[in-house]
């Protein structure tokens, strides 16, 4: 099955997926991730953040847009030396963990049995980050911002991994994505 989101067309093949914000199964005040996909081996929670399509812009517009996007990425992800953006970075990282937590709780409330390991995949269009920097960001977010769900008394819930990647890596690793 295919689903469009933020200028990307995701091809989930024959796997069952949910998109909470469009399906009417919304639990008030719980923020959802963009997709929950059940594969043969895992339950994947997928969040797509700040992906902007550049295709229909001329070179000058693209250059200006990239400069703005780079500044925005750094403001959200990296604490400045003077720590003036520390609170904004913390809120952004808490939002990343909060959407995952809320989405797991939605499934739990709906009676999902969690008989497959859970992965959380955070797709962010990093313009400045190479793989080592993305891994460092993943570690920074993972420790302290991604819940472990020890409070859920369900022995079946096994949280396996939190991954941070760009759309190209996601398309190569999980499901094909077509950029509109």
pLDDT bracket for residue 17 (50, 70, 90): very high
143-168: pLDDT as tens digits: 777 876 665 555 567 888 899 888 88
pTM > 0.85: no
Q: State the DSSP code for 31.
A: P
Weakest mean pLDDT among 50-54, 112-116, 136-140: 50-54
Nearest Cα residue to 36 out of 46, 48, 27: 46
156: DSSP letter: T
Q: Which distant-in-sequence residues (6+ apart) come within 8 Å of 98 by Cβ?
A: 31
β-strands 8-11, 2-5: how paired? antiparallel
Strand partners, 35: 46
Please report, rounded to a whole number, the percentage of residues in the chain having pLDDT higher than 90.
21
Which one, of 23, 32, 51, lies nearest residue 123 by Cα?
Answer: 51
- How would you class 99 by CB atoms within 10 Å of its CB: exposed for 0-12, middle for 13-18, buried for 19 or more? buried
Residues linked to residue 44 through DSSP beta bridges, in sequence order: 37, 119
Residue 101 pLDDT: 87
| Digit-coded pLDDT (tens) for 21-46 | 554 444 566 788 999 999 999 999 99
pLDDT given at position 8: 84
Q: What is the CA radius of gyration of the chain?
A: 17
């Amino acid at each position: 099955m295919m689903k469009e989101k933020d200028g990307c067309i995701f091809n989930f093949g024959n796997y069952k997926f949910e998109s909470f914000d469009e399906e009417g199964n919304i639990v008030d005040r719980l923020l959802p991730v963009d997709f929950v996909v059940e594969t043969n081996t895992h339950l994947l929670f997928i969040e797509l953040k700040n992906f902007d399509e550049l295709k229909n812009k001329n070179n000058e517009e693209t250059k200006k847009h990239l400069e703005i996007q780079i500044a925005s990425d750094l403001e959200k992800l990296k604490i400045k030396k003077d720590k003036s953006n520390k609170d904004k970075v913390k809120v952004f990282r808490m939002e990343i963990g909060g959407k995952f937590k809320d989405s797991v709780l939605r499934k739990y409330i709906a009676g999902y049995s969690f008989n497959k390991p859970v992965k959380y995949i955070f797709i962010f269009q990093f313009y400045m980050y190479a793989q080592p920097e993305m891994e460092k960001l993943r570690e920074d977010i993972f420790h302290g911002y991604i819940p472990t769900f020890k409070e859920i008394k369900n022995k079946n819930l096994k949280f396996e991994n939190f991954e941070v990647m760009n759309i190209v890596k996601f398309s190569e690793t999980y499901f094909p994505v077509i950029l509109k």
